[in-house]
Amino acid sequence: MCRINEYVKIFMKFPYLKQLPAILFFIAVLLVITSGCQTGPQLPAADEDNGGLFLPDDFRALVVVDSVGPTRHIVVNDNGDIYARLSHARDGRGTVALRDLDNDGKADSIVHFGDYMNDGRTATGITIHNGYLYASSRKRIYRNKLKPGELVPSSETEVVLTDLDPNVMTNWHTTKPVAFDNQGYMYVPFGSPSDACQDMALYGPAGIPGGLGLEPCPERENHAGIWRFDAGGTGMVQADGYKFASGIRSVVGMVWNPGDESLYAVGNGIDNFHTLYPERYSSWQAAVLPAETLMKVTEGTDYGWPYAYYDHMLKKNVLQPGYGGDGKIVGRASEFDEPVVAFPGHWAPMDVMFYHGDQFPERYNNGVFIAFHGSTDRPPYPQSGFIVCFAPFDREGNATGEWEVFADGFAGVDTVVNTSDAVYRPMGLSTGPDGSLYISESNQGKIWRVMYQGDKENFGEAQLAAMEARKSRNYIKDPDPELDHLQQGDQLSGGILFNTYCASCHQRNGKGDNNRFPPLVDSEWVTGDEDRLIDVVLNGMQGEIEVNGRTYNDLMPQNSHLEDLAIASILTYVRRRFGGIKDKPISIEQVKRVRNNTSVRK
């Protein structure tokens, strides 16, 4: 930042300069200032409240656009135009283009485009390479040639790659962000369809309690890895590529770092440790494990899925429970690569971006920003994440292993009980031509522009102190095992347990079998008295009952062997899924009370 007063003081030290006519003195000062100051486009004014964000001192933000629809990844072109992929296409158009016409930092021209073979609703990535705009869904990668001056490309859409897996549209893990190196290659991840390689034909993608992983895991052949392709190719399928790295369950964010000429990816870890292995993992361990990771991906690297996971507290790979692990055993997990930075579990990293601009202070150069979407499966503890982190790299280009909060304020509340409580969920990252950082979010489609407007030379720990203090917030800190326990059921775990213990009779759709077993959908037993419903699950029931005007007479087995959290989770899921009751989860205390009263009666 130019310091005019300092230049004037320097000039005033020379007496002969004071004797110059005022106009000549001013011109001399101006020439020196101009030669010594950075020149470039003037940054727009920030919003008075920084668009609701908390940032390190002297960083400011403005809202580029308030709501363009649920937005995932974004990319900023060299002329400042912004392109964003929408998670739900608008009228079949899955991409939105934004342009600032009056240089105030706000988007004035907003155009939806891109009819990508009706799969625009599954958008997962967008980038610009060699003058082409690349947009991805789970099934395909597309590209359009960008012509100078055009906001919306007029060129014909080309299909770069098609995923021929017949189950690709139901595999949430096989997102397709695209990255390009400087050697003419394109990189694409193919995620694993299951959580931990249990037998999906028998148990579904999430598995069953106590279930073991398949050995060897067949998914590793065509999934759970990153493939390399010809960067200029079109009409390709997976077989046209080369398996570059493996053992990576789910990648949503990926980037090539020109600093060390390496590929980096952020990985989402496996879920449900306590639900599937309650005797080996507590609900607290399941909330904070396994770590979310930043991986340096080189040719032949193997990050161990599904056999291993990384524990950021132990700072090492640990054997996955489906293969005999208990949270301590390492075994063959030591054979696999370890991440360069690890974060708390289930934060859901969505995008990763190395900063190579010249607007921010020097400490940010060559470091990496990561957008965390926020967890969905941490109950009975608060959901976590919902921030943008920064992980510094040293002068040799190596990650320090540390991370810090860079942008906060997205969640809007301190305790996120349910993921839907978060007002915004950070999603996409991109750098503008002037070095500004752009951040998108997926709830409404708000996009922020973050700028630095302070003295770069004096930026240091003092400017970061307030952000370090924000790590004490409930959606960032590690939860206290006792104090932060929310004492209520977990819908996600409840779905797994329901499919294990209840679906064989009531069916996965909750409609029963139209014969012996009654439906749960719109049943007064589901939407009515909570204690009665808990009692039926705990202690079973036999004899005639009437459900939705029809009489049923069969045995409902008792499930008192299930712990209180498991029953609360099942019934929270049932009431939400089949009864439409979304704001009243069944609590652990309710189940405990009914269980105790039952024991007294007996």
pLDDT digits (tens, 9 = 90+) for 469-499: 999 999 999 999 999 999 988 888 899 899 8
| E strand or H helix that includes residue 533 | helix 530-539
Angle at Cα 351 formed by Cα 345 and Cα 356, nearest 5°? 125
Residue whose token pair is 């006519």: 21
* 379 to 303, 345, 382: CA distances (angstroms): 27, 12, 6
Q: Which residue type occupies 535?
A: D
Angle at Cα 562 formed by Cα 560 and Cα 563, nearest 5°? 110
* 579 to 519, 527, 574: CA distances (angstroms): 11, 6, 7
Q: Which two tokens stand for residue 199?
A: 């037998």
| E strand or H helix that includes residue 274 | helix 273-276
Q: Which two tokens stand for residue 100?
A: 């600032």
Can you say whether the dihedral through the CA atoms of 10, 13, 15, 21 is positive or negative? Answer: positive
Q: Which residue type occupies 230?
A: D
Angle at Cα 145 formed by Cα 141 and Cα 149, nearest 5°? 135
pLDDT tens digits, 388-398: 999 999 988 89
pLDDT tens digits, 436-459: 999 999 999 999 999 999 999 999
- How many other C-beta atoms lie within 10 A of the C-beta of residue 10? 12
Residue whose token pair is 């098609």: 162
Look at residue 543 in the predicted model and tell me its pLDDT. Answer: 87
- How many other C-beta atoms lie within 10 A of the C-beta of residue 39? 7
Q: How many helices (H) and strands (E) does the chain have?
A: 13, 29
Nearest to 70 by CA among 120, 139, 20, 135: 120
Cα–Cα distance, 81 to 594 (Å, whole number): 60
Look at residue 145 in the predicted model and tell me its pLDDT. Answer: 97
pLDDT tens digits, 14-56: 444 445 555 544 544 444 444 444 444 589 999 999 999 999 9
pLDDT tens digits, 361-419: 999 999 999 999 999 989 899 999 999 999 999 988 899 999 999 999 999 999 999 89
Q: Which two tokens stand for residue 262?
A: 């390496």
Least-confidence region, from 1-10, 114-123, 223-232, 334-343? 1-10
**CA-based R_g, the chain, Å:** 27
Q: Are strands 544-547 and 550-553 parallel, antiparallel or unpaired?
A: antiparallel
Per-residue pLDDT averaged across 249-264, rounded?
Answer: 96
Nearest to 191 by CA among 257, 300, 266: 266
Q: Which two tokens stand for residue 34?
A: 């101009």
Band (pLDDT 50/70/90 cuts) for residue 340 is: very high
Per-residue pLDDT averaged across 280-301, rounded?
Answer: 97
Cα–Cα distance, 224 to 462 (Å, whole number): 42
Q: What is the mean pLDDT of the chain?
A: 90
Q: Which two tokens stand for residue 158?
A: 């080309």
Band (pLDDT 50/70/90 cuts) for residue 12 is: very low
* Predicted TM-score (pTM) above 0.75: yes
Q: Which two tokens stand for residue 346?
A: 């289930």
- How many other C-beta atoms lie within 10 A of the C-beta of residue 188? 27
Helix residue ranges per DSSP H, 41-149 = none
Look at residue 37 in the predicted model and tell me its pLDDT. Answer: 45
List of residues 6+ apart from 63 with CB closer than 8 A: 47, 51, 106, 446, 447, 448, 449
Cα–Cα distance, 489 to 570 (Å, whole number): 7
**Complete edge-to-edge strand list for the sheet that includes strand 158-162:** 123-129, 132-137, 140-145, 158-162, 236-237
Cα–Cα distance, 221 to 201 (Å, whole number): 17
Q: Are strands 308-311 and 251-257 parallel, antiparallel or unpaired?
A: unpaired
Residue pair 474/461 in contact (Cβ under 8 Å)? The answer is: no
